[in-house]
Structure 1
């Protein structure tokens, strides 16, 4: 275990692991040595108090999936207001691509995409839109297993005018990052002219990104991905 930087509500805090618009996440340990994430919220400048996002707590409490962190509770301490979340081992895709310069091959792209679509289909079956699918919110462990974190912008279908197509377009952006990770050098051309894509892959990505007729169901998104990105 790393040298602790503090103790909060019975947890030993060892290091910050992420920072966003609404707060900071820390890796911490319970007294039994089990790791957790403590998500501390910034103070609301107008209200003068800590401002947790109730959407995240409510939504996570209603989800049960091995690739989604479990919501374990809250801490209301002098140091701040915290969510306690299950800790997921691994590195974010952002770290893997930009820090470690990993080049994803076709098989790895299919593996990541397939797992992410299973998670996405699960939350959509619960009428949940993640709303923030991006490289920094996807963790891969040493065995290649994917976890989806940070439900701070998640909403139920119809809230704030959101629908599943937001997650579809974010999934398309993730695929582009994975494809570009193996591209020798990005020029000034747009992605569908620059990347060496099959016609079906190009058409699929354009639908995800809502450049042509968008997808309207998870089934179509999953089937399209398998058809165009399967390595078999």
Structure 2
């Protein structure tokens, strides 16, 4: 029964969530150049704005999911993007409906996502280079948090690298958290939400550090056994991954990252 249900679900989604083909004109304004990707809640296209000839990204929400859920997520993502104004986050242009589909257009960020950089280009990051990239990323995350939001999905496919600088995309799972509250339980929940982003950053840092790791050992071991890191880097990772006292703020992480970079620059270990 489970297998039959999955097949039926895939079939329903295939016929319901049809994507627009190359050269299709959407909303009398956007010409589709290519399909960038298909996710659980939407499809993204690389488009050209007909009047200005500028390249942009168009996101189409899926119709196969629960209608209320999709509409709520659509409003949440566009509302959050409207409130963010940072050079390393895509700008929202407009939101609209077309042929009974919900869309929004946004700035196209040039570059490669970090997943391609690591696994297709096989670029290697030293420990210091990894921390510098994480520090630059944390500065963007700190801005997002300062605006009262968490990203909720800081993974390597959602980080674009351009001129060695990280850009954060895909705010589909972003949500608001309260900066100030008198309620103790709410404060705990807020810190917990922030730590979701911190954990993702720790996981992302591990991907970067493993780019410089090679071994013939087949037996699976933890990163603490496999990676030879400066003690400060190890301590930083353990706090991000909640193996030791977790962080409370992004600024505290940035301080530790800067100190670790300084040690790696000046100390041979």
TM-score exceeds 0.5: yes
Q: Does 1:211 align with 2:243?
A: yes
User: What whole-Å deviation, never above 9, does each CA across 1:11-63 have from its counterpart, x for those lacking one?
Assistant: 11111112221011110011221111000111044449964521111111111
Distance in 1, Cα, partners of 2:65 & 2:201: 33
Q: Does 1:89 align with 2:119?
A: no
Q: Does 1:33 align with 2:53?
A: yes
Distance in 1, Cα, partners of 2:237 & 2:171: 24
Q: Which residue of the other structure, out of 196, 199, 202, is the alignment partner of 1:169?
A: 199
Higher Cα Rg, which structure? 2
Distance in 1, Cα, partners of 2:224 & 2:69: 47
Conserved 8 A contact 2:78-2:95: no
Other structure's SS at 2:40 match: coil
Equivalent residues, number: 228
Distance in 1, Cα, partners of 2:152 & 2:89: 15
Q: Which residue of the other structure, out of 151, 171, 179, is the alignment partner of 1:151?
A: 171
Conserved 8 A contact 1:50-1:81: no
Distance in 2, Cα, partners of 1:228 & 1:183: 20
Other structure's SS at 1:168 match: helix
Q: Which runs of 5+ in 2 are unaligned?
A: 1-20, 179-185
For the aligned residue pairs, the C-alpha RMSD in angstroms reads 2.1
For 1:226, the equivalent position in structure 2 comes to 258
After TM superposition, the score normalised by the length of structure 2 is: 0.79
Conserved 8 A contact 2:152-2:173: yes
After TM superposition, the score normalised by the length of structure 1 is: 0.91
Change beyond 3 A, Cα 1:58–1:46: closer
After the TM superposition, which of the residue ranges 211-220 and 46-55 deviates more from structure 2? 46-55
Structure with more of its chain in strand, by fraction? 1
Change beyond 3 A, Cα 1:47–1:138: closer
Other structure's SS at 2:193 match: coil
Q: Does 1:183 align with 2:202?
A: no
For 2:25, the equivalent position in structure 1 comes to 7
Conserved 8 A contact 1:73-1:83: yes
For 1:102, the equivalent position in structure 2 comes to 123
Change beyond 3 A, Cα 1:80–1:50: farther
Deviation at residue 73 of structure 1 after TM alignment: 0.8
Q: Which runs of 5+ in 1 are unaligned?
A: none
Change beyond 3 A, Cα 1:58–1:45: closer
Distance in 2, Cα, partners of 1:117 & 1:154: 16
Change beyond 3 A, Cα 1:111–1:100: same
